[in-house]
């Protein structure tokens, strides 16, 4: 740590809808710093005016971050205190600022993060999906092929998965979740959190899609998707339908082949099905 560097970068989260969610400390910082680096000047000015704060704003968005972060580093090196804010929520989390923070570490400039609103964590807390272990994926790719590839790669992810999504793509994304992951996977749509039309829906993916499709107001506004993680199949989860498929095949095929084909038809683990069948056999049910 460079003891002579007295400039500090503060990461200041701002509300994701309800302005009363700003913290005392965030307001204090926005007042006392020398400069506020904002993703959008007009947007941040509305916030500052609401709280009667006057301060010097500098634009730093994804288009000018590379150049502007060098400029801000020079100011920090001269001892300036700078607050970084985005349009809503925690800066850096799918917002600009990551490069500036990286450069601060490189130049031994102190970075102080303030806790505060973040749509992903707020949605997760109300999802009713186990959330001690989760991963954050940000926005799904807008193009179909990379989106499907990514979802396919996540099909066995056991942690809860968080996505940000836009109202324009939400139906397609859920369709792809159904195709690439599982139609029965639990999904939560957290919409317009902290705002007037806040709503949190939870259902299996296929039912969620049908339900959303019947009314476009159900997916209007800003959205976070929380997707339950992959659950390892246990023998007690083998359905009657799966077992009936096995019994039918078993009339004509060997045990091994019947298990293999059934597991492929129902997309389940063949070893678990095998254990289940053996147990049934030992219980003399077959």
Interaction site with ligand SAM (CB under 6 A): 16-17, 86, 88-90, 93-95, 118-120, 164-166, 190-195, 222-224
- The answer to whether the beta carbons of residues 195 and 183 sit under 8 Å apart is no
Residue 211 or 230 with smaller CB distance to ligand SAM: 211
CB of 123 closer than 8 Å to CB of 226: yes
Q: Strand pairing partners for 14?
A: 89
The end-to-end CA distance of the chain, in Å, is 71
The strands making up 35-38's β-sheet, listed across from edge to edge, are 57-59, 35-38, 81-85, 8-11, 110-113
Q: Which of 61, 194 has the CB closer to ligand SAM? A: 194
Q: Which residue number, 120 or 277, has a Cβ lying nearer to ligand SAM?
A: 120
Choose between 7 and 91: whose C-beta lies nearer to ligand SAM.
Answer: 91
For the CB of residue 191, give the shortest distance to ligand SAM in the complex, in Å.
Answer: 6
Q: Minimum Å distance from CB 175 to ligand SAM?
A: 18
Query: Considering beta carbons, is residue 222 or 228 the nearer one to ligand SAM?
Result: 222
CA distances from 266 to 84, 157, 182, 204, 243 (A): 51, 19, 11, 18, 10
Residue closer to ligand SAM, measured from CB, 63 or 237? 63
Contact 164, 154 (CB under 8 A): no
Chain position carrying tokens 């296929």 = 206
- Mention every residue, 6+ apart, whose C-beta is less than 8 A from residue 172: 144, 147
Least gap, CB of 238 to ligand SAM (angstroms):
37
Q: Minimum Å distance from CB 188 to ligand SAM?
A: 11
Least separation in angstroms between residue 195's CB and ligand SAM is: 6
DSSP character at residue 216: G
Least separation in angstroms between residue 87's CB and ligand SAM is: 7
């Amino acid at each position: 740590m460079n003891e002579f560097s007295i400039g500090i970068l503060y990461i200041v989260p701002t509300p994701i809808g309800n302005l009363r969610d700003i913290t005392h400390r965030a307001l204090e910082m926005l007042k006392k710093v020398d400069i506020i680096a904002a993703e959008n000047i007009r947007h941040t000015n509305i916030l500052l005016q609401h709280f009667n704060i006057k301060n010097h704003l500098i634009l730093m968005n994804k288009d000018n971050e590379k150049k502007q972060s060098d400029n801000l580093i020079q100011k920090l090196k001269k001892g300036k205190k700078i607050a970084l804010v985005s349009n809503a929520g925690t800066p850096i989390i799918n917002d600009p600022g990551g490069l500036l923070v990286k450069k601060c570490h490189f130049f031994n400039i102190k970075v102080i993060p303030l806790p505060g609103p973040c749509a992903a964590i707020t949605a997760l807390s109300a999802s009713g999906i186990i959330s001690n272990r989760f991963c954050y994926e940000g926005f799904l790719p807008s193009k179909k092929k990379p989106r499907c590839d990514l979802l396919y790669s996540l099909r066995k992810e056991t942690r809860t998965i968080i996505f940000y999504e836009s109202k324009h793509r939400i139906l397609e994304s859920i369709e792809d979740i159904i195709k690439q992951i599982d139609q029965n996977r639990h999904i939560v749509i957290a919409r317009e959190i902290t705002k007037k039309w806040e709503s949190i829906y939870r259902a299996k993916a296929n039912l969620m899609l049908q339900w959303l499709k019947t009314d476009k107001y159900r997916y209007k506004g800003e959205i976070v998707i929380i997707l339950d993680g992959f659950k390892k199949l246990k023998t007690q989860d083998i359905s009657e339908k799966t077992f009936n498929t096995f019994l039918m095949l078993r009339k004509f095929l060997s045990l091994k082949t019947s298990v293999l084909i059934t597991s492929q038809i129902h997309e389940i683990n063949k070893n678990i099905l095998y254990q289940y069948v053996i147990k049934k056999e030992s219980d003399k049910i077959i």
